[in-house]
Amino acid sequence: MVKWRGRDVSDTWRLDHPWASVYSFGMAHRPIARTAGVVGFGTDFDRMYDAIASIGDLPAGSTVLDVPCGGGVALRGLVGARRIRYVAADISIAMLARTRRTAAGLGVEVEPVEADVADLPMEDRSVDLTLSLTGLHCFPDPRAAIREIARVTRDRIELSWLRSDAGLRYRPILIAGRAGGLVGRSATADEVGLWLAECGFDAEIRIEGAFAYASARRG
Ligand SMILES: C[S@@+](CC[C@H](N)C(=O)[O-])C[C@H]1O[C@@H](n2cnc3c(N)ncnc32)[C@H](O)[C@@H]1O
């Protein structure tokens, strides 16, 4: 029998749980993502797609880190953007393969890297913009992830995640996600604001349904 549950939440994703391909397909098709978001999570994910579109505002020569890149939903931000270095990191080889296919389909260049968000193979402050979309709730230690993302980021961090304090209405989703091994401890909006501040980043955080969106700049 195939084993889909790993030692921790990251390990379950690394095993390429069947949900990973369903999720990637949904995210790649914005109307599906929007409908599922509104119905299931009380958010249309527009803030996430806005963060992706902001790649187009970066000057030539910028470096973007996308961790976790998943199936490459954020790569669409590269279409029409100036020439930038785009590092797409994920712990799952299957997800990185999906990102490669997405890049080929869009005709954009990325550097896929197999990496744990808690131990990124990048220099301090070597990244202008880090995107960590629908990510924090998939990491065993979201605080360690923020610390490592902040270490490598020079300027701006964009985060979106399923909140640990999402409220009664969304409790069944959290419980089911945790039971399936796909959702970890996660974090509240206050915790994320505090952890970012500890790392020298000022964050604007918006709560929408079960999700929160943080846009943070180094202070
Ligand atoms: C819900 S998906 C989000 C992917 C993408 N950002 C998106 O919005 O479509 C979560 C991703 O986190 C990755 N992941 C889980 N733990 C990780 C870790 N410790 N380091 C890097 N990636 C991790 C999984 O492999 C998966 O691709």
CA of 210 to the centre of ligand 1 (A): 18
Domain extent for 28 = 9-218
What is the mean pLDDT of the segment spanning 62-77?
98
Query: pLDDT tens-digit profile of 167-193?
Result: 899 999 999 999 999 999 999 999 999
**Looking at the domain assignment, is residue 30 inside a domain?**
yes
Q: Evaluate: CB of 139 within 6 angstroms of ligand 1.
A: yes
- Specify the CATH number for the domain of residue 211: 3.40.50.150
The strand pairing partners of 85, in sequence order, are 63
Q: Evaluate: CB of 91 within 6 angstroms of ligand 1.
A: yes
**Looking at the domain assignment, is residue 4 inside a domain?**
no
Q: How far apart are CA 180 and CA 172, in angstroms?
A: 12
Q: Given a cut of 70, is residue 1 above it in pLDDT?
A: no
Q: Given a cut of 90, is residue 4 above it in pLDDT?
A: no
**Looking at the domain assignment, is residue 1 inside a domain?**
no
Q: Given a cut of 60, is residue 149 above it in pLDDT?
A: yes
Question: Ligand 1 test: best mutation among 10, 24, 55, 173, most atoms within 8 Å of CB?
Answer: 10
Quote the pLDDT of residue 172: 94
Quote the pLDDT of residue 6: 87
Average pLDDT, the chain: 96
Q: Given a cut of 80, is residue 3 above it in pLDDT?
A: no
Model confidence band, residue 17 (pLDDT cutoffs 50, 70, 90): confident
Residue among 35, 32, 50 at smallest CA distance from 133: 50
Question: Ligand 1 test: best mutation among 46, 91, 141, most atoms within 8 Å of CB?
Answer: 91
Quote the pLDDT of residue 158: 98
CA of 7 to the centre of ligand 1 (A): 16
Q: Evaluate: CB of 28 within 6 angstroms of ligand 1.
A: no
In angstroms, the Cα distances linking 142 to 115, 184, 186, 189 are 15, 9, 6, 12
Atom 1 of ligand 1, nearest CA residue: 134
Q: Tally the domains of the chain.
A: 1
Structure tokens at 105: 């389909």
Quote the pLDDT of residue 35: 96
Quote the pLDDT of residue 130: 98
Q: How far apart are CA 32 and CA 36, in angstroms?
A: 6
Quote the pLDDT of residue 2: 57
Question: Ligand 1 test: best mutation among 95, 132, 146, 149, most atoms within 8 Å of CB?
Answer: 95
What is the mean pLDDT of the segment spanning 16-24?
90
Query: pLDDT tens-digit profile of 89-122?
Result: 999 999 999 999 999 999 999 999 999 999 999 9
CA of 69 to the centre of ligand 1 (A): 6
The rounded percent of the chain whose pLDDT value lies above 90 is 94
What is the mean pLDDT of the segment spanning 188-212?
98
Q: Evaluate the omega torsion of the peptide bond into residue 18 and state whether it is cis, within 30 degrees of 0.
A: no
